[in-house]
Amino acid sequence: MPLLMQLFLSFFKIGLFGFGGGYAMVSLIQDELTFHGWLSMKTFVDIIAIAEMTPGPIAINSGTFVGYKVLSFLGAISATVGVVAPSFILVITLAHFFEKVKESPYVNAMLDFLRPAVIGLILAAAISFGESSLVDWKGFLIAGGVFLAMLKTKISPILLIVIAGAVGIILY
């Protein structure tokens, strides 16, 4: 199968099963990249960091960056369309039927099931990033500082990213 089609199908699958938004999709993206061997873990972590800092949804940004890294401009288009297509199809379909099923106990039960599953996906991605990013005391210091600042203050996450970048420049 051509690489362009592999990129599209991989990101279509990510978009199809990525309930809970971009952060929940990160572990799915990592699994696909590992399966295909397209990028190293270090490059993947760098791409996710860039995808977080750029405007737009993280799943779309990371799909675009991964696609570009793997197969240049056409790869970026293929991965981006692949990750967006399932959501687009699902939203159009659900919008048509939602009014009829929004009170359904089956729909509510499915949503109740998905919430903890999404938390598990986000935690798996966080642990995976931690294993590859927290390799010395400096990384632990930056991560711990950002974590505490997020819990104890109302500092903007954007400002925390800028501060963490500045601290990283100083420490590294």
Q: Specify whether 109 is located in the same domain as 168.
A: no
Average pLDDT over residues 46-70: 87
* Whether the predicted pLDDT of 1 surpasses 90: no
The pLDDT > 70 percentage for the chain reads 98
Q: Which residue range forms the structural domain that includes residue 87?
A: 3-130
Return left, alpha or beta for 66; rule: phi > 0 is left, psi -120 to 50 is alpha, else beta: alpha
Residues 6 or more apart in contact with residue 87 via CB below 8 angstroms: 15
Q: Are residues 33 and 116 in the same domain?
A: yes
pLDDT in tens, 2-47: 999 999 999 999 888 876 667 777 888 888 888 888 988 888 888 8
Pair (88, 110) in one structural domain = yes
Secondary structure (H, E, C), the chain: CCHHHHHHHHHHHHHHHCCCCHHHHHHHHHHHHHHHCCCCHHHHHHHHHHHHHCCCCHHHHHHHHHHHHHHHHHHHHHHHHHHHHHHHHHHHHHHHHHHHHCCCHHHHHHHHHHHHHHHHHHHHHHHHHHHHHCCCHHHHHHHHHHHHHHHHCCCCHHHHHHHHHHHHHHHC
147/121 same-domain check: no
Q: Are residues 142 and 119 in the same domain?
A: no
The number of folded domains in the chain is 2
Does residue 95 sit in the same domain as residue 160? no
User: Which band of pLDDT confidence, cut at 50, 70 and 90, is reported for residue 158?
Assistant: confident
Furthest-apart CA pair in the chain: how many Å? 57
Q: In this structure, are 141 and 115 located in the same domain?
A: no
